[in-house]
A and B are shown apart, each in its own frame.
Chain A
Amino acid sequence: MDKKLGVYVCKGCGIGDAINVEALSEAIEGLDVTPHLFKDVPVLCSKEGVDTIKADIEGEGINAVVVAACSPRVLYDVFDFPGCLLERVNLREGVTWCQPPGEEDTQMMANDYLRLGITKISKSELPEPFKPEEEISKRIMVVGGGMAGLTAALEGAKAGYEVVLVEKEAELGGWKAKFYKEFSAPYNDIHDLSVTSLIQQVQGHDKIKVYTASEIDKTAGGPGLYSVDIKSNGGSAQEKIGAIVMATGWKPYDPSNLEHLGYGKFKNVVTNIQMEEMAKAGKIVRPSDGGPVKKVGFIQCAGSRDPERLPYCSAVCCLATMKQATYLKQMDADSQAYVVYKDIRTPMQTEDLYRKVQRDGAVFIRGEVESVSEQGGSLVIEAMDVLLNDKVRLEELDLVVLATGMVPTSMPAEIPKKEMPAEGGGTELREVAPDSGFFSTPALRLQYRQGPEIPTLKYGFPDSHFVCFPYETRRTGIYAAGVAHRPMDSTQAKSDAAGAMLKAIQVVEATAVGAAVHPRSGDMTYPDFFMQRCTQCKRCTEECPFGAINEDEKGNPLPNPTRCRRCGVCMGACPERIISFKNYSVGMIGSMIKSIHIPEEDEEKPRAVVLVCENDAYPALDMAGLQKLRYSPFVRVIPMRCLGGLNLVWIADALSRGVDGILLLGCRHGDDYQCHFIKGSELATTRLSKVAETLNRLALESERVKVEEVSIADAHRIPEILNEFMETLEGIGPNPYKGW
């Protein structure tokens, strides 16, 4: 692309007072591209300002615009010039608001940032959206026909999308349809099952195609291009699918682990599921002799919140007990319920149901159950009542109901094993990690290099970032909903399903125009592979967090651009540096680093390159500016899509040119990671652990390169982090390569 560059400097928001625009225009002389136009405007975001740029695009044929004004995180809707390359240079939050006005160092900082911006745009090309040969499908597949799956299917169909619903069992409705009553708003009473009408609506909808007694045999392709083989009773079918909502649901916690509560030992000890089945069958009786049930003991947290059994709270067992105590009373007014609990968890309006059960006269006993035993054909619960601070005995119980929790269906009964390379060569059979695609119970059978299923967390629930993007799994275009996602009641499952369906709709619409979904929503670029130089090292296929790159038998990468989230981790992984984006590449960042002006050693103006994650660290830097926090004028910030894109060649380039140090600001990694790309910052840290070698080759100190974890809320820490790093560099002394 033949670039005609226009540079526009805003003088508003204090920029004009802090920075000399004349000096700025001189500083960019000698770069690879000379701007065709260089203008300063009093307020660039005003109508006049934007019109100036638009007029130049029309009249002068400008096709590359550098806006030197505020942070790219603001006013992106104002500075929007379709068909033009655009680069925002952050002179407001990044310079004016964090540096003293009018000083030489402030000016040098602004000069460098403008040079960086112009270098970046000179190395960028306009992205061409990815258009696969195959037609993009906008149909959405819902896996699982329970409460969440049915709701998702119906919501999708109502929004005008064709939905394919696949259910493993012969009947729709999942667990809910097997129950007797449900608790849903209004919570002052229990209600008849709402799932019945939901099933009717789904079956009667002409946009929903239902497969019952069916399983998925194979899911090939990526978002917009999935080809799903469905194996039904005696037949098979293939469907073209755009996105997947995974509502595979839950199974009850295995009660055979609850022998300490009498399960398996006494016939009259049942789980809440068995209680529900009994009620559905019409009568609650003693399983031992079919006798009437008058006194019932409910044991809450049966196995739950117990590090040895089910470590988490399933959030519904308390309400299930409230429901069962209610219908127990409705069926027999003389019956008496005792509830032994650790904590009653009835959030929000569901507290109404707790109050109702209290009004009905159930007795709540807070404490630990010590034993369940039998005495003369009845059951006895002995418990430590922490409110009375005394041991209590509940005698003559006809039935003991264990309130068991929920386990996602994705959690395998036994941890699968896989052939993996052994340390001493050869292979050995080892247990796979939960966050590997080989861990979960088969449901989707994906044709991904990283395994056939969704990576999960330690409890078997699909991994997603609960705060930033709760629905997204580690496989683009596949969204978990309902209890497959996390334990929840049916009311929550319904809204969760609607949300997941909305995300599925977003991904098919974005994929149809070639754009990425979050966190880089709307990004039209995707990685390009210069295959002639590929050495089949498999590092890109190994490190891609989303399974976007498969490989053939020879180890050649086979990119699936619709699965890509555009983080650039593959770009950082490639030792041959053959993976690049139209506006993001190893060469581009390298050239940017080289365009930083390095003062002579005797000027005593050190320079540090700060590579920052654009998701968390960059906003934190912006906020430091917004709060007018002062930090060292010797840092030069270069935002990155993800630190996982870090290529070690930049470190070598920077140090050999005389940059005194390199600081990386990324997200927290580990178990409670905050990385939008799962392992980006972790990968960067791993790669840096090998940087000592480079530094030794250059005879430099390893303290010159450092990684810091910064969260989006860490603006107050920014000056401290940057200044401390600069102090370290001053202590070490200037880089001996200056001026070479």
Chain B
Amino acid sequence: MAQKASSKYDPTFAKEVFEKVDSGEEIKKCMQCGVCAASCPLADKMEFSPRKIFTMIRAGERQKVLASKDIMLCTSCYTCIVRCPRKVPVMEVMHGLAHHALRSGFVPRKESSKFGKAFWDCIYKTGRVDEGVAARNYYLADGLVAGAKRGLEMKDIALNMLKHKRMNIMSAIPGIQGKKIKNIATLQKMLDKAEAMGKGGSK
């Protein structure tokens, strides 16, 4: 028998999830049928399926859940939400858990969090996604040398995008921002509010 089994079914973590994770309280409705796990296209890449994540939350496995890369694997395909017989927004809970993990100092999946940050920054600053800028900032997150190396690896795609006017050559230069939308301040105000509510954000 597991030595620390007495820590199982400690309700503290479940309470934390209900209060602090976006849509966290919805997992109370889960009846562990496993339809989400059976529907998830990434299930074979996961150590813990969404169903298992939920039961681990109830059992109080904070460390295991927040450090699990599985909560960051969600591609937002919505299949689980469509199929859940109890109408648990599984996908939203997974995103909520990912944000909560990042806020709580866990980085379950480095690549995902870096990309997320680059993406969010881009939107926050200009109100739109500029492929060049988002990609550049993502590559540079690991430093200049690593960034340049990865950028060169992608050069064929970049050249093709340039040829079809899908990317601005200027955006490859560090420090250059894409074109801003009108009234960007209004958008930023909205995004700040959303982040304060626990939805989205990259910090």
Enumerate chain B residues within 8 angstroms of A363, measured Cβ to Cβ.
9, 11, 14, 58
Give the residue among A336, A382, A392 with the most B Cβ atoms within 10 A. A392
Q: Are A388 and B55 within 8 A (Cβ)?
A: yes
The CB with the most chain A CB atoms within 10 A, among B2, B9, B59, is that of B9
CA distance A365 to B59 in the complex (A): 9
| 8 Å CB contact of A394 from B9, B28, B32 | B9
* Nearest Cβ on chain A to B94's Cβ, whole angstroms: 18
Between A and B, 20 residue pairs with Cβ closer than 8 Å are A338-B9, A354-B31, A355-B29, A355-B86, A358-B28, A358-B29, A359-B28, A361-B11, A364-B32, A385-B8, A385-B55, A387-B51, A387-B52, A388-B56, A388-B59, A391-B1, A392-B5, A392-B59, A393-B5, A395-B6
Q: Which of B5, B14, B29, B86 contacts A391 (CB 8 A)?
A: B5
Residue on A nearest B32 in the bound complex, by CB = A387
Give A576 to B8 CA distance when docked, in angstroms: 77
CB-defined interface of A363-396 with B at 8 Å, one 1/0 digit per residue? Answer: 1111000000000000000100101101111110
The yes or no answer to A648 lying at the interface (CB within 8 A) is no
Complex: chain A residue closest to B8, CB-CB: A392
Contact with A along B22-33 (1 / 0, CB 8 A): 000000111110
How distant is A329 from chain B, measured CB to nearest CB, in Å?
13
Main secondary structure of the interface of A (DSSP, over half): strand
Q: Indicate whether A502 reaches chain B with its CB closer than 8 angstroms.
A: no
In the assembled complex, the Cα of A338 lies from the Cα of B11 at a distance in Å of 11
Give the CA-CA distance A358 to B29 in the complex, in Å: 6
For residue A344, CB closer than 8 A to chain B, the reply is yes
Chain A neighbourhood of B14, CB < 8 A: 363
Q: Give complex CA distance A566, B10 in Å.
A: 66
Given contacts A344-B31, A382-B5, A387-B51, could you give 9 more A-B pairs where the C-beta distance is less than 8 Å? Answer: A359-B29, A363-B11, A363-B14, A366-B32, A385-B8, A387-B55, A388-B59, A390-B2, A393-B8
Q: Are B6 and A393 in contact (CB under 8 A)?
A: yes
Complex interface: chain B residues within 8 A of A365 (CB): 9
Bound together, the chains give a CA A382 to CA B8 distance in angstroms of 11
CB distance from A332 to the nearest CB of B (A): 15
Q: Is the CB of B9 within 8 A of A358?
A: no
Which of B1, B55, B86 gathers most chain A CB within 10 Å? B55
Task: For B6, list chain A residues within 8 Å (CB).
Answer: 393, 395
CB of A225 to closest CB in B, whole Å: 54
Q: How far is the CA of A190 from the CA of B19 in the complex (A)?
A: 27
Ranked nearest first, the 4 interchain pairs of A and B with the lowest CB-CB distance are: A392-B8, A393-B5, A387-B55, A393-B6
Min Cβ gap B198→A in Å is: 20
B36 to chain A, nearest CB (A): 13
Cα of A461 to Cα of B1 in the assembled complex, Å? 42
- A159 and B96 CA atoms in complex are apart in Å by 60
Q: Could you tell me the distance in whole angstroms from the C-beta of A670 to the nearest C-beta in chain B?
A: 36
With known contacts A363-B58, A385-B59, A387-B55, A392–B32 Cβ distance under 8 A: no
Closest to B85 in A: A351
Shortest C-beta distance, A295 to chain B (Å), equals 10
Nearest-neighbour CB distance to chain A for B18, whole angstroms, equals 8
Q: In the complex, A359 Cα to B31 Cα: how many Å?
A: 11
CB distance from A350 to the nearest CB of B (A): 13
**Docked CA distance A363–B55 (Å):** 10
* Neighbouring A residues of B28 by C-beta, 8 Å: 358-359, 361
* B-side contacts of A388, CB under 8 Å: 8, 52, 55-56, 59
Give Cα A365 to B5, complex, Å.
14
Nearest residue (CB) in B for A394 is: B9
Residues of chain A contacted by B29 (CB below 8 angstroms): 355, 358-359
Q: Point out the residues of chain A lying under 8 angstroms from B32, CB to CB.
A: 364, 366, 387
Q: Which residues of A contact B11 (CB under 8 A)?
A: 336, 361, 363
* Interchain CA distance A385-B32 in the complex, whole Å: 12
Query: Which residues between 30 and 70 of chain B lie within 8 Å of chain A, taking CB atoms?
Result: 30-32, 51-52, 55-56, 58-59
Chain A residues, CB < 8 A from B56? 388
Digit string of A112-128 for contact with B (CB within 8 Å is 1, else 0)? Answer: 00000000000000000
Residues in A with CB closer than 8 Å to B31 are 344, 354, 358, 364
Contact yes or no, A391 B2, CB < 8 A: yes
Chain B residues with Cβ below 8 Å from A393 are 5-6, 8
B-side contacts of A391, CB under 8 Å: 1-2, 5
Nearest-neighbour CB distance to chain B for A354, whole angstroms, equals 7
The chain A residue with its CB closest to the CB of B27 is: A358
By a CB distance below 8 angstroms, the chain B residues around A354 are 31
**Residues of B contacting A387 with CB < 8 Å?**
32, 51-52, 55
Cα distance A355–B55 when bound, in Å? Answer: 16
Chain A residues, Cβ within 8 Å of B1: 382, 391
Tell me the bound Cα distance from A363 to B51 in angstroms.
15
Which chain A residues numbered 454 to 493 have a C-beta less than 8 Å away from chain B? none
A338 to B58, CA, bound (A): 11
Cα-based distance from A387 to B11 in the complex (angstroms):
17
